[in-house]
A = this chain, B = another copy of it.
């Protein structure tokens, strides 16, 4: 089968107002699209990425061995079927994969913003996505879907622009961050900010706080897996000789793995983006009266998905989403997928997710477009 080659595109515009009231003079958003927009311009699906994800959701970049991060879910005949849908993915505001973030040159100073970059919220990310979607000629999205921080963006869409989406698929998400989630993020941030090379965020052009960022990533990885999945992946062998003479090298496979993941992560991710995006996650909260309040007269169909072994965004948090949506008189389907992969399951449990999402979208597709007619 021929590799589907895709390219990241960029949309740049001026004067973007943030929740804080601050205005970014110039914003660029990196995005990719898959499939075709139909004549009615109502078959668009927006995929929102997790903390360290990017706009490269599916297909292959020219010359790459590895496809986009949700390639298993987005494509011909897949969960998000590009024969039916026009799929859009973009890098979030504050990120470091093409969209404006702290590494961007501050037009006022001529050097990177660093920590002078304004605070961004999940709501700001979603506002930027809306701007992109409008630029692509779309008024109303058929679906918004994503896992983890992507799931937060899905819920934020429902809060900020309920009239602009037909359906929503928040996966492994929460209504608001808990103290434990904030605490893990804070340890990651402290690891970065304790690195002398961080230089209060103004490190661009010099040594970067790679050691601190790697530590943050190592911790992240533990929270993305489960106790069980780590035991399966890194079985501990008995080795008495070694035990009596250990040093501070990596004695165990799991240490080696985490060090490797930490050091490869720093090549693709910016430490300040880690700080900004993790803060946006910490401040995320849609458990509010104004969420789908009656006067908004919203009618969004929700599919909420969680995973049994996910202890970072545990199933009870998705159950809280379901309860909350039901209290708001929304139509909600919920499934807690059996999985041993922990939080990473949203990237790995492709078969179950595909089954659930495909059925969910097909049913709505028929309602919105009337049977098979709309398939071009």
Q: Chain A residues in contact with chain B, CB under 8 A?
A: 18-21, 115, 119, 121, 176-180, 182-184, 186-187, 189-191, 193-196, 211-212, 214-215, 218-219, 221-222, 225, 227, 230-231, 233-234, 236, 238, 243-248, 250-255, 258-259, 262, 275, 279, 282-283, 285, 288, 311, 314
Contact assessment for A245 and B194 in the assembled complex, using a CB-CB cutoff below 8 Å? no
Extra pairs beyond A180-B230, A183-B258, A187-B222 (13, CB < 8 Å): A18-B244, A20-B244, A119-B244, A179-B236, A179-B252, A183-B222, A184-B222, A186-B254, A190-B214, A191-B215, A194-B212, A248-B275, A252-B282
C-alpha spacing A176/B252, complex, angstroms: 13
Nearest B residue to A236 by beta-carbon distance?
A: B179
C-alpha spacing A306/B214, complex, angstroms: 34
C-alpha spacing A254/B221, complex, angstroms: 21
Shortest Cβ distance from residue A223 to the other chain B in the assembled complex, whole angstroms: 10
Nearest B residue to A234 by beta-carbon distance?
A: B179
Shortest Cβ distance from residue A2 to the other chain B in the assembled complex, whole angstroms: 40
Residue among B186, B219, B248 making CB contact with A255, cutoff 8 Å: B186
Q: A186-B255, A279-B248 are in contact. Are A178 and B230 (CB under 8 A)?
A: yes
Shortest Cβ distance from residue A294 to the other chain B in the assembled complex, whole angstroms: 21
Nearest B residue to A259 by beta-carbon distance?
A: B190
Contact assessment for A215 and B244 in the assembled complex, using a CB-CB cutoff below 8 Å? no
Contact assessment for B282 and A251 in the assembled complex, using a CB-CB cutoff below 8 Å? yes
**In the complex this chain forms, how many copies of it are found?**
2
C-alpha spacing A284/B207, complex, angstroms: 38
Nearest B residue to A176 by beta-carbon distance?
A: B236
C-alpha spacing A176/B231, complex, angstroms: 12
Residue among B182, B233, B311 making CB contact with A252, cutoff 8 Å: B182
Can you list 29 A-B pairs, Cβ within 8 angstroms, ordered by A?
A18-B244, A19-B243, A19-B244, A20-B245, A121-B243, A176-B236, A179-B230, A180-B222, A180-B225, A180-B227, A180-B230, A182-B236, A182-B255, A183-B218, A183-B221, A183-B230, A186-B218, A186-B252, A187-B218, A189-B248, A191-B191, A191-B215, A194-B211, A194-B214, A227-B311, A238-B285, A238-B288, A248-B279, A251-B279
Contact assessment for B187 and A248 in the assembled complex, using a CB-CB cutoff below 8 Å? no
Contact assessment for A231 and B285 in the assembled complex, using a CB-CB cutoff below 8 Å? no
C-alpha spacing A183/B224, complex, angstroms: 12
C-alpha spacing A218/B219, complex, angstroms: 12
Contact assessment for B119 and A314 in the assembled complex, using a CB-CB cutoff below 8 Å? no
C-alpha spacing A312/B199, complex, angstroms: 34
C-alpha spacing A93/B218, complex, angstroms: 29
C-alpha spacing A72/B227, complex, angstroms: 32
C-alpha spacing A344/B373, complex, angstroms: 61
Contact assessment for A231 and B179 in the assembled complex, using a CB-CB cutoff below 8 Å? yes
Residue among B211, B212, B247 making CB contact with A119, cutoff 8 Å: B247
Shortest Cβ distance from residue A237 to the other chain B in the assembled complex, whole angstroms: 10
Shortest Cβ distance from residue A148 to the other chain B in the assembled complex, whole angstroms: 17
Shortest Cβ distance from residue A376 to the other chain B in the assembled complex, whole angstroms: 43
C-alpha spacing A184/B255, complex, angstroms: 10
Shortest Cβ distance from residue A263 to the other chain B in the assembled complex, whole angstroms: 11
C-alpha spacing A215/B195, complex, angstroms: 11
Contact assessment for B183 and A254 in the assembled complex, using a CB-CB cutoff below 8 Å? yes
Shortest Cβ distance from residue A209 to the other chain B in the assembled complex, whole angstroms: 9
Q: A178-B230, A178-B231, A236-B176 are in contact. Are A186 and B244 (CB under 8 A)?
A: no
Contact assessment for A178 and B252 in the assembled complex, using a CB-CB cutoff below 8 Å? no
